[in-house]
């Protein structure tokens, strides 16, 4: 595309970790021009003034959000604000005919479920009903041409990508819960200062949080049912998950260890074949060979998800290990992937970076 025909893109919430990662990724995208950035007013200046690592944005002012200015300047907008604020703004921009991609949890669940798990007033049900769930590998046909997209949660992305092939293949024993032990780097909590996020608290430490009440639980259960079951059904038709989240002394990364009770004898080579067939041609999914397992440094700084598999025949349990970067495939990277699909572009555009190592 020429500069005159580039897609005009905005980022609302540009001063958060997700928004900053979006700006970084968009700088690699040849088909877009970032024309609007709204964020917290730490001080007056351009994005490059405030965040020197984004030196290519010396022309872009970071300003207070205004729906009319945003809609006038943009064809598509990423909204990367906290849950409780983000979805309503995405809905405003969608009403003005803009492609809106919401990175919060506001549009992922029905209003009553959202209110129960997030403990916040939900967005209007009519807005939620128009949103397409953006798990790209499993909902690509709906995302293509969509104008309002609910980007999945970081934990939900890792867990769903890890569990869905097994659930779809009916490997799981019926009526037994699936166990998910998931860990995240501290950037998943955002930039706001918290005691638990301070170096002196988190370094050399490790602990669970939101035990039994993490807001991604109903999201995982809902979309396991929607994408994993052959027949049309509701959320209650699939066994629940036992979902525990833990905080790692690391900046980036999600690592989900999933335990699926098997309904029949199966060998790990068969399971690997199922996963590779399911994700055949998917550029951001890598299935490891039997006996090899993902590490956070395999995916850090990339939009990739790595999955490892093991069948414990002694206990008839399938173990699935899923790793991704929470700011990339778990947030900004997947949002850009969804943007590409919605706009009819190659899904990998702007996302070809290899992981950072070490």
The catalytic residues are: 154
Q: Note whether 38 and 346 are within 8 A (CB).
A: no
Q: Note whether 120 and 107 are within 8 A (CB).
A: no
Helical (H) or strand (E) element with 277 = helix 268-278
Give the pairing of strands 148-150 and 99-102: parallel
Helical (H) or strand (E) element with 160 = helix 154-168
Q: Is 47 exposed, middle or buried (0-12, 13-18, 19+ CB in 10 A)?
A: buried
Other C-beta atoms within 10 Å of 89: how many?
23
End-to-end CA separation in angstroms for the chain:
35
Is 223 in a helix, a strand, or coil?
helix
Residues in contact with 132: Cβ distance below 8 Å, sequence separation at least 6, in sequence order = 139, 142, 143, 146, 148, 149, 150
Is 227 in a helix, a strand, or coil?
helix
Tokens matching residue 246:
């833990």
User: What sign does the CA torsion over 155, 158, 161, 165 have?
Assistant: negative
Q: Note whether 348 and 339 are within 8 A (CB).
A: no
DSSP letters, 80-105, are -PPTTTHHHHHHHHHHTT-EEEE-SS
Can you tell me the distance from the alpha carbon of 84 to that of 200, in angstroms, rounded to the nearest whole number? Answer: 30
Can you tell me the distance from the alpha carbon of 229 to that of 237, in angstroms, rounded to the nearest whole number? Answer: 9
């Amino acid at each position: 595309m020429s500069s005159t025909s580039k897609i005009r893109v905005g980022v609302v919430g540009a001063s958060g970790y997700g928004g900053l990662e979006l700006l970084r990724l968009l700088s690699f995208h040849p088909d877009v021009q970032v024309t609007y950035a709204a964020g917290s007013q730490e001080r007056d200046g351009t994005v490059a003034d405030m965040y020197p690592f984004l030196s290519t944005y010396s022309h872009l002012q970071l300003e207070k959000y205004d729906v009319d200015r945003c809609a006038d300047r943009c064809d598509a907008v990423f909204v990367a604000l906290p849950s409780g604020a983000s979805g309503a703004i995405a809905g405003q921009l969608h009403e003005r005919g803009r492609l809106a991609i919401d990175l919060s949890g506001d549009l992922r669940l029905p209003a009553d479920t959202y209110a129960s798990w997030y403990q916040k007033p939900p967005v209007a049900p009519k807005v939620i009903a128009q949103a397409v769930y953006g798990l790209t590998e499993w909902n690509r046909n709906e995302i293509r041409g969509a104008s309002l997209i609910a980007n999945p949660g970081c934990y939900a992305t890792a867990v769903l990508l890890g569990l869905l092939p097994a659930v779809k293949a009916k490997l799981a024993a019926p009526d037994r819960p699936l166990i998910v032990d998931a860990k995240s780097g501290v950037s998943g909590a955002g930039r706001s200062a918290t005691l638990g996020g301070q170096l002196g608290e988190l370094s050399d430490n490790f602990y669970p949080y939101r035990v039994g009440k993490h807001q991604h639980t109903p999201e995982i259960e809902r979309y396991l049912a929607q994408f994993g079951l052959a027949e049309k059904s509701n959320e209650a038709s699939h066994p629940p998950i036992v979902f525990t989240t833990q905080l790692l002394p690391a900046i980036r990364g999600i690592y989900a260890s999933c335990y699926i009770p098997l309904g029949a004898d199966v060998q790990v080579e068969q399971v690997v074949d199922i996963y590779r067939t399911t994700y055949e041609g998917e550029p951001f999914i890598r299935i490891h060979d039997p006996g090899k397992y993902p590490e956070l440094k395999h995916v850090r700084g990339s939009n990739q998800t790595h999955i490892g598999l093991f069948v414990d025949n002694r206990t008839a349990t399938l173990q699935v290990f899923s790793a991704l970067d929470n700011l990339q495939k778990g947030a900004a990277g997947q949002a850009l992937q969804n943007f590409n699909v919605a706009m009819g572009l190659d899904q990998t555009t702007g996302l070809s970076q290899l992981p950072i190592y070490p």
